[in-house]
């Protein structure tokens, strides 16, 4: 746990340093964030964050506690990575992201398995939680499928397949083809873990 904390602290410090070279107006245009001359305002799913610039300080609007360090890193990495590539409206699997196969095992264990356990036999619960999290219906195969905005210009999709006589229940999270232009793959794995926890929390 101590090593994890040190690793996060190091990643955060580097992310803060890397912010110094950014042009705020260009970042806002590429990400869909707002910049008022002193801070960016950026949504992550239903939560809204304020990222002061150039002296970086991150807070969640309406919250008393500071965001966890992993969330702050995710926000900074998105501001740094997003290059303005438009949404392609073409969905791909996690393994198709750059280096996705390297992270796939932990992604399946931390993001997919909990969703299957919670919603594999609860179609109505999946639909209700998805709508509560701001999801909109996707035209995809599966028993239910919803599209979400992780960041303003970074959609993800979640598809539930109920069990049948031949196959067990399964869940698939899909990403717009432009996802790697918005976050490194390791951060996409963190994002989906957060999404999985959110969706389960909205159901319970």
For residue 156, the cross-strand partners are 148, 175
Query: Using CA atoms, how far apart are residues 193 and 80, in angstroms rounded to an integer?
Result: 21
Cβ atoms of 151 and 42 within 8 Å: the answer is yes
pLDDT computed for residue 40 by the predictor = 98
pLDDT computed for residue 66 by the predictor = 93
Domain boundaries, the chain: 2-81, 91-203
pLDDT computed for residue 1 by the predictor = 35
Q: Nearest 10 degrees: CA dihedral of 129, 130, 131, 132?
A: 50
pLDDT computed for residue 126 by the predictor = 98
Task: Give how far Cα 99 sits from Cα of 61, 81, 188, Å.
Answer: 34, 16, 11
Six token digits for residue 41: 């305002």
pLDDT computed for residue 141 by the predictor = 83
Cβ atoms of 78 and 31 within 8 Å: the answer is yes
Q: What is the mean pLDDT of each run of 10 residues along the chain (204 residues)?
A: 61 95 96 97 98 97 95 98 96 96 94 97 97 95 96 98 91 98 96 98 93
Taking the domain 91-203, which CATH number applies?
A: 3.30.310
CA angle at 103 for the pair 102 and 105, rounded to the nearest 5°: 100
Other Cβ atoms less than 10 A from the Cβ of 62: the count is 7
Phi, psi for residue 98 in degrees, rounded to 5 = -55, 120
């Amino acid at each position: 746990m101590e090593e994890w904390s040190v690793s996060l602290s190091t990643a955060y410090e580097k992310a803060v340093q890397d912010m110094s070279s950014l042009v705020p107006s260009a970042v806002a245009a590429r990400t869909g964030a707002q910049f008022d001359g002193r801070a960016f305002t950026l949504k992550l799913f239903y939560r809204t964050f304020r990222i002061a610039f150039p002296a970086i300080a991150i807070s969640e609007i309406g919250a008393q506690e500071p965001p966890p360090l992993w969330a702050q890193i995710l926000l900074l990495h998105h501001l740094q990575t997003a290059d303005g590539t438009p949404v392609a409206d073409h969905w791909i699997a996690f393994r198709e992201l750059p280096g996705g196969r390297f992270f796939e095992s932990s992604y399946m264990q931390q993001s997919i398995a909990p969703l299957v356990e919670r919603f594999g036999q609860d179609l109505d619960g999946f639909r209700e939680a998805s709508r509560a999290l701001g999801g909109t219906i996707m035209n995809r195969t599966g028993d239910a499928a919803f599209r979400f905005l992780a960041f303003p210009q970074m959609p993800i999709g979640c598809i539930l397949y109920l069990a049948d006589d031949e196959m067990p229940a399964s869940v698939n999270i899909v990403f717009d083809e432009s996802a790697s232009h918005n976050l490194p793959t390791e951060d996409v794995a963190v994002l989906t873990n957060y999404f999985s926890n959110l969706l389960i929390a909205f159901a319970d």
